[in-house]
């Protein structure tokens, strides 16, 4: 082929345009994706922000499109997401995170701070500082990003592929709607296949997702990726198709199995329906529970009531029921939050008396075995034998509802515990402060914060919780310590003292014993108030009520007074003089009277973190931040020098 100038130029242009038409112009003609819900026209402010964003080249480290293979970045980007974009700033490198769906993930104030001082708020970042941009530019950019790809959490999820796309629950049972006039009792519950769903849940899901649906089942702690907490987004509003897809195919990167291998389609829908109704979107209902029928009608407890069977019932209760019903059966377990209905308070008197019980053995047994309609109460018949369930009935009736006679323990018999415990000695690593935290979280609601057995939950118990003040001045030998470890571990047979060995690691059991010995045997001297120095921990110095209120919280001094009465007055006394009832005959000396005019930061600090090496516990482990602010407000008002002030 002879190459002339003409052939080179004309041929070159023809080849060029042939390919350009195929690879550039035709795509331009045929590819015009429709606007998606992610795309929105930009306001002037957002447009300025977008301009600032690309003029400064942010898109050279931050991409704006998500691939199917990307982990946890949101849905795969659609061409229509960029309907209003000009120029396109998809980006080609991901030195920083993808920003396709950054909207609403961070506040605008956070973003601005992050641009000024990247490593202050995001320590691993290698982003340069953009503090040289004007406030107007920073605000505009924040507004652009705040509205970029913003959607509700469920929509961030990867859309289910065929055949799961657009599936809905095939069973539309009208009575599921809380507005329906249908009676909400057992017949409706069973007709909606919710009981079948509950049984599947208890059998298949509960070990990981937990009886309360919060992802804290017994296996949860062994998993690297925490099981889903159905009470949180995105599960609360997750569409049916997502549920069915994840249940059927499992969840990539987790141990969630593909249940399609072992559950039929209707079964998967049943369990999904149960989770949605009970955990994700619970509604307050007033079900008619009815009376035990069929195999449960008229049953009486076949297991003879002894101290030993009670003890076995207790072990099951502590292992399974405590998390919702609470150690003292008052329904104040740690997982109760978000449950509808809430677990019952066995001490509220509605269960009758010893002579005149409102519920028979069959009533208890039936509820434990089958659970209750429209409640998270599992069907324990799937997990525990008849005998075990009967023992649980005994435990509830004897100690909590107190509608059954407590068997007397064989007199003169020592507390028996396994031989291996007798040689245990307190490890040197046992910590008074950690013990104080365990005491606060696990023991104080029955034994009282002052250890006088006057806790707010356990007063109705019979026998009453132990009064540790009786231990004042005692010495404890190694064998005594070992015995106490065993008591904490196995509980005390003829009382409601839990078998903490089911729940607490041995190190924490030693910690709490160390706390008990230090506080109620040896005793702690009264701590001098350090308030006079004006010393406040560094991170509390700038604390201010104004900031807390500015975040939209409310501080109630009245509420604070109530909380003070429950938690503080036992030692500090109703007037803050340090003469509460819990100080009586206590080995540890009572607290000093409150100094006048302590500042908020000081009070907050002391309540939040406690006082080391004294009985004052760090209440951050027991109370919410709101509650601590309430108490602070009350204490501040109590100690104001001009008490008439407003």
Partner 1 sequence: MLSKKNSASANFMLSAALWLVIGVLMGLTLALQFVFPDLFRGIPWLVFSRLRQAHTNTVMFAWLSGAMMGVWLYIVPRLTGRQLWSETLGNICVILWNMALVAGIGGILLAYTQSREYAEFVWIIDVGVMVVLILNLVNLYMTIAHRTEPKLYVSLWYISGTLIWMPMLYFIGNVMWNPATGALTGIDDTIFNWFYGHNVLGLWFTTGLLPVIYYIVPKETNTPLYSHFLSLIAFWGIAFFYTGVGAHHLLWAPVPYWLKTIAVAESIGMILPVVAFMMNILLTMRGNWNRFMTSIPLRFIITGWAAYILVSYQGSHQALRGINLITHFTQYVPGHAHLSLLFFAASVLMGAMYYIVPRIYNARLYSRVLANVQYSLYVIGFTFFFGGFLLTGLVQGTSWLHQGLPVWSVLPGLRPYMALRAVGGSLVVISFALFTLNILVTVWQRKPVSQPDYPKPKSPKLVTTSD
Of residues 54-113, those binding partner 1 (CB under 8 A): 54-61, 63, 65, 67, 69-72, 76-90, 92-98
The least CB distance from residue 29 to partner 1, in Å, is 9
- For partner 1, the closer of residues 60 and 417 by Cβ is 60
Least separation in angstroms between residue 521's CB and partner 1 is: 49
Q: Does 416 bind partner 1 (CB under 8 A)?
A: no
Residue 352, helix vs strand vs coil: strand
The answer to whether 570 and 632 have CB atoms below 8 angstroms apart is: no
Of 87 and 552, the one with the shorter C-beta distance to partner 1 is 87
Tokens of 195: 């009981």
1 versus 538: smaller Cβ distance to partner 1: 1
Q: How far is the CB of 208 from partner 1 (least distance, A)?
A: 20
Distances (CA, A) of 543 to 352, 538, 549: 50, 10, 12
Shortest distance in whole angstroms from residue 25 CB to partner 1:
9
Whether the bond between 234 and the residue before it is cis, its omega within 30 degrees of 0, is yes
Site for partner 1 in 295-334 (CB under 8 A): none
Which residue, 69 or 533, has its beta carbon nearer to partner 1?
69
Angle between helices 108-116 and 135-146 (to 10 degrees): 130
What residues from 117 to 136 belong to the interface with partner 1 (CB under 8 A)? 118-119, 122, 124-132
217 to 246, contacts with partner 1 by CB under 8 A? Answer: none
Angle at 402 between CA 287 and CA 331, to 5 degrees: 50
Please give the residues from 244 up to 263 whose contact with partner 1 meets the rule CB under 8 A.
253
Is residue 270 within 8 Å of residue 193, measured between CB atoms? yes
Contact with partner 1 (CB under 8 A) among 8, 337, 358, 584 = 8
What phi-psi label fits residue 26: left (phi over 0), alpha (psi between -120 and 50 degrees) or beta? alpha
The contact pattern for partner 1, residues 328-367, with x = CB under 8 A and - = no contact, is ----------------------------------------
Smaller CB separation from partner 1, 82 or 500: 82
> Of 477, 492, 463, 319, nearest to 399 (Cα)?
463
Q: Calculate ∠ Cα 240-245-247, nearest 5°.
A: 95
> Which CB, 100 or 301, lies closer to partner 1?
100
Instruction: Tell the smallest beta-carbon distance from residue 41 to partner 1 (Å).
Output: 11
- The C-alpha atoms of residue 42 and residue 157 are separated, in whole angstroms, by 25
- Find the shortest distance in angstroms from Cβ 23 to partner 1: 4
| Site stretch for partner 1 (CB under 8 A), options 114-122, 237-245, 312-320, 378-386 | 114-122
Find the shortest distance in angstroms from Cβ 135 to partner 1.
15
Rg of the chain (C-alpha set) = 32
Least distance from C-beta 60 to partner 1, angstroms?
Answer: 5
| Least distance (Å) between residue 42 CB and partner 1 | 11
Closest by CA to 613, choosing from 444, 427, 433, 438, is 433
Residue whose CB is less far from partner 1, 69 or 546: 69
Q: How many residues in the shown chain lie near partner 1 by CB under 8 A?
A: 72
Measured between alpha carbons, how far is residue 399 from residues 295, 317, 442, 489 in Å? 27, 12, 18, 19
Q: Give the phi and the psi of residue 537 in degrees, each rounded to 5.
A: -55, 145
Q: Which is nearer to partner 1, 98 or 363 (CB)?
A: 98
Closest by CA position to 38, among listed 100, 99, 88 = 100
Cα dist from 483 to 23, 57, 311, 491, whole Å: 83, 69, 18, 11
CA–CA distance, 82 with 78 (Å, rounded to integer): 8
Nearer to partner 1, 81 or 519 (CB): 81
Q: Based on CB atoms, which residue is closest to partner 1, 34 or 428?
A: 34
Least CB distance from residue 86 to partner 1, whole Å? 4
Contact code string over 9-28 relative to partner 1, x by CB under 8 A:
x-xxx-xx--xx-xxx--xx
User: Contact at 8 Å (CB) between 383 and 375?
Assistant: no
Residues 26-55 that bind partner 1 (CB under 8 A): 27-28, 30-33, 54-55
Q: Which long-range CB contacts under 8 A does 555-561 form with residues at least 24 apart?
A: 555/626, 555/629, 555/630, 555/633, 556/630, 556/633, 557/630, 557/633, 557/634, 557/637, 559/627, 559/630, 560/629, 560/630, 560/631, 560/632, 560/633, 560/634, 560/635, 561/634
Longest dimension (CA), the chain: 119
User: Considering only residues 498-557, where is the footprint of partner 1 by CB under 8 A?
Assistant: none
Nearer to partner 1, 67 or 553 (CB): 67
Beta carbon nearer to partner 1, 7 or 297: 7
Cβ atoms of 307 and 410 within 8 Å: the answer is yes
If the CB atoms of residues 17 and 415 are measured against partner 1, the closer one turns out to be 17
Question: What tokens does 20 get?
Answer: 């350009």
Rounded Cα distance between 138 and 114, Å, is 11
Closest to partner 1 by CB, 119 or 553: 119
């Amino acid at each position: 082929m002879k190459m002339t100038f003409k052939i080179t130029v004309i041929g070159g242009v023809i080849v060029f345009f042939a390919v350009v038409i195929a690879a550039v112009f035709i795509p331009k003609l045929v590819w015009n994706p429709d606007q998606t819900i992610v795309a929105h026209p930009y306001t002037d402010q957002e447009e300025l922000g977008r301009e600032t964003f690309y003029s400064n080249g942010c898109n050279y480290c931050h991409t704006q499109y998500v691939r199917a293979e990307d982990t946890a970045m949101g849905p795969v980007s659609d061409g229509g997401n960029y309907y209003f974009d000009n120029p396109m700033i998809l980006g080609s490198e991901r030195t920083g995170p993808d920003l396709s769906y950054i909207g609403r993930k961070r506040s605008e104030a956070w973003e601005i701070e992050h641009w000024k001082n990247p490593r202050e708020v995001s320590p691993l970042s290698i982003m340069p500082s953009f503090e040289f941009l004007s406030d107007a530019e920073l605000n505009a950019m924040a507004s652009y990003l705040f509205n970029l790809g913003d959607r509700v959490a469920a929509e961030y999820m990867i859309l289910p592929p065929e055949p799961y796309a657009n599936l809905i629950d095939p069973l539309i049972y009208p009575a599921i709607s809380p507005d329906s006039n249908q009676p909400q009792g057992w017949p409706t519950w069973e007709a909606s296949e919710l009981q079948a769903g509950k049984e599947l849940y208890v059998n298949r899901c509960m070990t990981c997702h937990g009886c309360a649906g919060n992802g804290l089942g017994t296996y949860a702690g062994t998993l690297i990726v925490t099981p889903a907490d159905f009470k949180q987004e995105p599960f609360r509003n997750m569409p049916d198709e997502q549920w069915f897809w994840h249940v059927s195919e499992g969840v990539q990167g987790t141990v969630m199995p593909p249940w399609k291998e072992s559950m039929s389609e209707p079964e998967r829908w049943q369990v999904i329906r149960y989770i949605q109704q009970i955990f994700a979107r619970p509604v307050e209902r007033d079900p008619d529970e009815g009376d035990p029928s069929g195999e449960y009608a008229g049953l009486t407890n076949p297991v003879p009531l002894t101290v030993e069977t009670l003890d076995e019932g207790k072990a099951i209760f502590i292992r399974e029921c405590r998390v919702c019903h609470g150690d003292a059966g008052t329904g104040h377990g740690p997982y109760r939050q978000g449950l509808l209905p809430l677990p019952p308070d066995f001490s509220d008197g509605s269960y009758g008396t010893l002579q005149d019980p409102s519920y028979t053995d069959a009533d208890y047994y039936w509820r434990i075995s089958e659970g209750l309609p429209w409640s998270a109460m599992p069907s324990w018949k799937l997990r525990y034998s008849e005998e075990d369930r009967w023992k649980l009935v005994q435990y509830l009736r004897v100690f909590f509802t107190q509608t059954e006679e407590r068997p007397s323990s064989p007199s003169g018999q020592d507390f028996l515990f396994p031989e291996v415990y007798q040689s245990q000695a307190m490890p040197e690593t046992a910590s008074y402060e950690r013990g104080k935290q365990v005491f606060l979280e696990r023991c104080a609601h029955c034994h009282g914060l002052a250890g006088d057995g006057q806790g707010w939950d356990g007063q109705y118990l019979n026998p009453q919780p132990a009064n540790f003040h009786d231990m004042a001045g005692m010495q404890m030998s190694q064998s005594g310590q070992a015995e106490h470890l065993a008591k904490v571990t196995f509980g005390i047979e003829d009382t409601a003292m839990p078998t903490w060995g089911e729940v607490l690691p041995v190190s924490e059991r030693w910690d709490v014993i160390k706390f008990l010995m230090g506080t109620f045997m040896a005793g702690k001297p009264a701590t001098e108030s350090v308030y006079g120095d004006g010393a406040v921990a560094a991170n509390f110095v700038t604390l201010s009520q104004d900031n807390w209120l500015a975040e939209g919280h409310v501080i109630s001094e009245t509420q604070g007074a109530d909380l003070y009465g429950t938690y503080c007055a036992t030692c500090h006394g109703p007037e803050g003089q340090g003469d509460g009832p819990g100080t009586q005959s206590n080995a540890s000396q009572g607290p000093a009277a409150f100094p006048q005019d302590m500042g908020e930061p000081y009070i907050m600090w002391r309540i939040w973190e406690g006082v080391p090496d004294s009985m004052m516990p760090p209440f951050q482990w027991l109370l919410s931040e709101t509650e601590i602010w309430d108490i602070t407000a009350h204490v501040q008002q109590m100690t104001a020098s001009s008490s008439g002030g407003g």
